[in-house]
Structure 1
Amino acid sequence: MTDAPQKELRRGWTTGACATAATKAALMAFWGGVSVKEVTIVLPKGEIPVFPVAVHEQGDGWALAGVTKDAGDDPDVTHGALIIAKVSASTGGVHFKAGDGVGTVTKPGLPIGVGEPAINPVPRQMMENVVREVADSMGQAPDIAIEISVPGGRALAEKTWNPRLGIVGGLSILGTTGIVRPFSCAAWIASIHRGIDVARADGLTHVAGCTGATSEATVQSLYSLPDHAMLDMGDFAGGMLKYLGKHPVDRVTIGGGIGKMTKLAQGAVDLHSARSQVDFDTLAQMVGDPQVRDANTALDAFKMVGPALAQKVADTALAEVRRRFAHQAITYDVVVVDRAGAIIARAGP
């Protein structure tokens, strides 16, 4: 019996691409009085997708259009959100505004300045390109104000990293390629990097990356760290530590459960279950107890051996981090917690 073929996952479009398509449709109505049903835009790598236009409105001195975000098969929090662009005349080029559901930057360290709408550089460039394109085709001056809004975006933003990054009032308009690739690691790692940038810009000297909510709450309480010191590391220890090596702070804490910290101790830097596994033979040698070879999980091994195993994992994980990511300016430490959030081992100062 052969396995059924895997279905290829469907790509989607970023909020930046949707905002650009909505801007183009709004401009066609504003300058040409045309309410189109769909538009095409050119993405940064040259692809030209088609976007259905879901909403059209026009009034005295303004027009708006909306595009419903399709994230493909990615579990994106903004999938199905309506991305609206409202355009009106301006002086001196293209100006961006944050409408309802789009955030405003309040902390330094992000690629957009404090006080600016949270519309990232590539989406801004894409929208400026369509302003020039439509202006040229309709004989208009490319002087336009673009207000991007996302109905319900304020609530959606609470499910993202925005509050921690100091982006208040709603979502960010994101995307570097215009394309959402299902279950992409790149977007998560980019968010970790932005978290580091914000922490450094705010002068923080101690940050922490944890594998989940339980370990994060424990580590944050242990060191009384502010929210923006807590990096959403998840499984991407390597992505966090490599970036910190180039953008250091004084102290970095790594926290997690016994399973993921065991994988880190064994040299894995991507801790996802699909990409790394605990080697129980190696773990048995590490703790000097052959019965560990018969364990099904690291938690089983911990129950067999007790606190000595957790401490050995913490010590070895710290040694591995220092070996792989040593930086003269950074002091590292490791905190291992159980499922209830109790600390079962620590290593480092």
Structure 2
Amino acid sequence: MERDSTTEAEGGSGRGTDESGRALRRGWTTGACAAAAARAAAEALFTGGFPDPVTVTLPGGQQPAFALAVTRTGQGADGPWAEAGVVKDAGDDPDVTHGALIRSRVWRAAPGRGVLFRAGPGVGTVTRPGLPLPVGEPAINPVPRGMIRQAVEDAAAAAGQPADLVVEVSVDNGEALARRTMNGRLGIVGGLSILGTTGIVVPYSCAAWIASIQRGIDVARAAGLGHVAACTGDRSEKAVVARYGLPDHALIDMGDFVGGTLKYLRRHPLPRLTLCGGFAKFGKLARGLMDLHSKRNSVDLDWLAGRLAELGADPALVAEARTANTAAQVLDMARAAGLPLADRVAALAREAALAVLEDAPVAVEVLVTDRQGAVVGRAPGW
């Protein structure tokens, strides 16, 4: 991924490969690591001994073994506790939490309470509606909660003990790591989310980024926002903020996944949407392409030259555009000739976006930026 997201890349079938064709190594989600640490801590609480390595069962039935990096016991206000820690291995994925130490501390709860969850240092708390957890809850997502609950219940059953336990999950340096994610926009404060739907990280999965986009839209809808902006990167995002002063939770970091963004908005509409991105990327959207990544769809200089011709450009300029080095160079040519090429790209990009949205009640505006982040083209939507 080009930027860190709030979710881990996971799920899917088959192994990815890098540019040389080498198979990319899979890893484990924070949820899987927290479950393994919780199982080891619960067993130590009941028996006095930590299993190392410790095995847990993932939602798909896999049973990986995890080495323990930390084992501790102690006495607290609520009685004895045990704590285990697992260093997260995200495989070959550029995951923000790769190498982080995920800890689970377990102590007994009051009889009949079942398994309770707490956010320790480095794990965030939910402060806004729209996420799959109530406000005030630790940011431990539902599937990881299920994995952790199953892990400690298995330990309790093996020891013949009731599974009335408190599990506190923490991440060393988690609050600092969270600043490299979109957690703040989603209203998760104080640290990271404990994530995962399969327990397995698949390198460079697009599903992770799209899931972040969807949660951002969910939070915006729950907050009752009437206007959101989906941007391709930092410069376009700053351009939108300068123009409209939108709050953080109105900003959707869609990266290259404009198709995934629009399809989710088709099912979960918001009143007004600003799409903002660079000239080259939105030149692809204007052609109807919904994946803007340079490795999957390239800039079409012939197409841009054709749009110049439609705007009345001199034939010599059109021919020069066809042999340009970059889309930015074509934009410079158009601007020097006084031709509104960026506006034309914005208008066609808006048409492509509306086609994906179909009849969803979403008013769409498109802003096109140059390499410096200045807005050079617009297609108004309201």
TM-score, normalised to structure 1, is 0.97
Unaligned runs of 5+ in 1: none
Aligned to 1:264: 285
CA distances 1:88-135 after superposition (whole Å, capped 9, x unpaired): 001310000000000000000000110000000000000111122111
CA distances 1:253-287 after superposition (whole Å, capped 9, x unpaired): 10011110101101111111111112222222222
Aligned to 2:67: 52
1:194 aligned to 2:223?
A: no
Unaligned runs of 5+ in 2: 1-18, 310-317
1:12 aligned to 2:27?
A: yes
| Contact 2:29–2:200 under 8 Å retained in 1 | yes
| Contact 1:258–1:336 under 8 Å retained in 2 | yes
Matches within 5 A, 1:223-242: 223-242=244-263
| Alignment equivalent of 1:304, drawn from 318, 329, 333 | 333
Matches of 1:340 and 1:286 in 2, distance apart?
23
Matches within 5 A, 1:122-201: 122-201=143-222
Mean Cα deviation higher: 259-268 or 275-284: 275-284
Task: Specify the SS of the correspondent of 2:185.
Answer: helix
The alpha-carbon deviation at position 140 of structure 1 amounts to 0.5
Aligned to 2:115: 94
Matches of 1:326 and 1:253 in 2, distance apart?
17
Matches of 1:237 and 1:121 in 2, distance apart?
27
TM-score, normalised to structure 2, is 0.89
Aligned to 2:363: 331
Q: Specify the code of the residue in structure 1 equivalent to 2:90.
A: A
Aligned to 1:115: 136
Aligned to 1:40: 55
| Contact 1:66–1:85 under 8 Å retained in 2 | yes
| Contact 1:14–1:175 under 8 Å retained in 2 | yes
Matches of 2:243 and 2:358 in 1, distance apart?
24
| Contact 2:97–2:177 under 8 Å retained in 1 | yes
Aligned to 1:80: 99
Matches of 1:203 and 1:282 in 2, distance apart?
40
CA distances 1:30-68 after superposition (whole Å, capped 9, x unpaired): 001112221111111111111111100011310000000
| Contact 2:266–2:360 under 8 Å retained in 1 | no
1:216 aligned to 2:237?
A: yes
Q: Specify the code of the residue in structure 2 equivalent to 1:154.
A: E
Aligned to 1:21: 36
Q: Specify the code of the residue in structure 2 equivalent to 1:231.
A: I
Task: Specify the SS of the correspondent of 1:335.
Answer: strand
The alpha-carbon deviation at position 328 of structure 1 amounts to 4.0
| Contact 2:267–2:360 under 8 Å retained in 1 | no
| Alignment equivalent of 2:305, drawn from 255, 265, 284 | 284
Mean Cα deviation higher: 123-132 or 292-301: 292-301
Task: Specify the SS of the correspondent of 1:95.
Answer: strand
Q: Specify the code of the residue in structure 2 equivalent to 1:257.
A: G
The alpha-carbon deviation at position 326 of structure 1 amounts to 2.7
| Contact 1:287–1:312 under 8 Å retained in 2 | no
| Contact 2:262–2:356 under 8 Å retained in 1 | no
The alpha-carbon deviation at position 7 of structure 1 amounts to 1.3
Mean Cα deviation higher: 220-229 or 279-288: 279-288
CA distances 1:129-170 after superposition (whole Å, capped 9, x unpaired): 112211111101011000001111001000001001000000
Matches of 2:117 and 2:25 in 1, distance apart?
31
Task: Specify the SS of the correspondent of 1:208.
Answer: strand
The alpha-carbon deviation at position 192 of structure 1 amounts to 0.5
Task: Specify the SS of the correspondent of 1:162.
Answer: coil
- The CA RMSD over aligned residues, in Å, is 1.2
